């Protein structure tokens, strides 16, 4: 009897696995560009997590004889002016870019959700005050606002995450607020109010879960913007400080002086930044089409 039950469990597990694999293949065929974006992001995430295993040189170790060494069998992407292996610095730089991008996106979305949910559900003077603050913040471009906070906080990993996350708040707050305004008029909210459920419990338990789909789409789209903003801040000297390998700082150190004599110092960091932003944009577009019923054909 036990053997039969065990075999039936295996059959059900196999059916679920085949169903999940079949669904993944179906989504890959339906959204080929989104699949490409997911593959690109998976590549960078795996490279960042396995950086210790797939690199053989210390990204911070200098070697004067290898200064500006061209790409070769030993140095796949060449070396910078201090003789540091560019391949190792690109791989370890993925950790910095993804950490800043994901960290700032999560923090910005969390703050935006709190502001948007409270503003849309409570309304009144609080909604008016929050929306005027959001208007002021959205009046400045993302990079300009991030520059202001980065200059005020100083260059460090934590400060860069904070400086990028704050400009992300208004767009998230606006999306959550608009969804909250529509959801709070529905029958299930009135039913929860009728049975005496508290306002914050209604907002957290009934309204917030129904805003997850647009939030996922928006967070994916903003991830690329956060990574690009980090590279821009580092390029301007206000992002990740030395000696941490940052793609933007690699460009700032070499773009003007060594563009002609050692173009690999600009090409490889530029390709890395472009690829990860391109991958997040493709993945965000596919998630929008998948999760937003209005976008489905």
State both tokens at 165: 């996350």
Say whether pTM exceeds 0.75: yes
Looking at residue 7, its pLDDT comes to: 44
pLDDT at 9 over 70: no
Looking at residue 151, its pLDDT comes to: 87
Looking at residue 39, its pLDDT comes to: 92
pLDDT at 180 over 70: yes
Average pLDDT over residues 196-200: 73
Specify the higher pLDDT residue, 244 or 5.
244
Kindly tell me the sign of the dihedral angle through the C-alpha atoms of 205, 206, 209, 211. negative
Q: What CATH class has 31-61+74-295? A: mainly alpha
Highest mean pLDDT among 43-47, 180-184, 239-243, 289-293: 43-47
Give the pLDDT band (50/70/90) at residue 169.
Answer: very high
Looking at residue 88, its pLDDT comes to: 92
% of the chain residues with pLDDT over 70: 90
Specify the higher pLDDT residue, 108 or 295.
108
Give the pLDDT band (50/70/90) at residue 162.
Answer: very high
- DSSP assignment of 234-268, as one string? HHTTSSSPTTS--HHHHHHHHTTTSTTT-THHHHH
Looking at residue 20, its pLDDT comes to: 67
* Average predicted confidence (pLDDT) for the chain: 82
> Largest Cα–Cα distance of the chain, in whole Å?
77
Average pLDDT over residues 32-46: 90
CA pair distance 98, 50, nearest whole angstrom: 13
Question: Poorest-confidence range of 26-30, 141-145, 221-225?
Answer: 26-30
Average pLDDT over residues 240-252: 81
Give the pLDDT band (50/70/90) at residue 2.
Answer: very low
Backbone angles phi, psi at 85, to 5 degrees: -65, 120
Looking at residue 6, its pLDDT comes to: 44
In terms of Cβ atoms closer than 10 Å to its own Cβ (0-12, 13-18, 19+), residue 220 is buried
CA pair distance 277, 288, nearest whole angstrom: 16
């Amino acid at each position: 009897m036990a053997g039969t039950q065990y075999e039936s469990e295996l059959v059900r597990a196999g059916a679920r696995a085949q169903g999940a694999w079949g669904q993944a293949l179906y989504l890959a065929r339906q959204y080929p560009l989104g699949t490409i974006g997911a593959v690109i992001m998976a590549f960078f995430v795996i490279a960042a997590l396995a950086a210790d295993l797939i690199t053989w040189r210390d990204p911070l170790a200098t070697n004067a004889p290898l200064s500006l060494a061209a790409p070769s069998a030993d140095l796949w992407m060449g070396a910078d002016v201090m003789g540091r292996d560019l391949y190792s610095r690109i791989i370890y730089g993925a950790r910095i870019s993804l950490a800043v991008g994901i960290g700032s996106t999560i923090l910005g979305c969390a703050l935006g959700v709190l502001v948007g949910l409270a503003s849309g559900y409570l309304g009144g003077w609080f909604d008016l005050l929050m929306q005027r603050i959001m208007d002021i913040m959205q009046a400045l471009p993302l990079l300009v606002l991030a520059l202001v906070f980065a200059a005020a906080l100083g260059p460090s990993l934590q400060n860069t995450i904070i400086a990028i996350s704050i400009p992300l708040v208004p767009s998230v707050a606006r999306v959550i607020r608009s969804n909250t305004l529509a959801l709070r008029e529905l029958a299930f909210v009135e039913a929860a109010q009728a049975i005496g459920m508290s306002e914050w419990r209604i907002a957290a338990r009934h309204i917030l879960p129904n805003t997850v789909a647009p939030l996922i789409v928006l967070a994916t789209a903003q991830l690329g913007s956060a990574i690009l903003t980090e590279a821009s801040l580092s390029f301007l000297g206000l992002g990740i400080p030395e000696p941490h390998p940052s793609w933007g700082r690699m460009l700032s150190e070499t773009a003007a002086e060594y563009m002609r004599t050692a173009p690999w110092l600009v090409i490889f960091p530029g390709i890395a930044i472009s690829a990860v932003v391109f991958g997040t944009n493709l993945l965000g577009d596919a998630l929008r089409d998948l999760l937003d019923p209005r976008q489905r054909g």
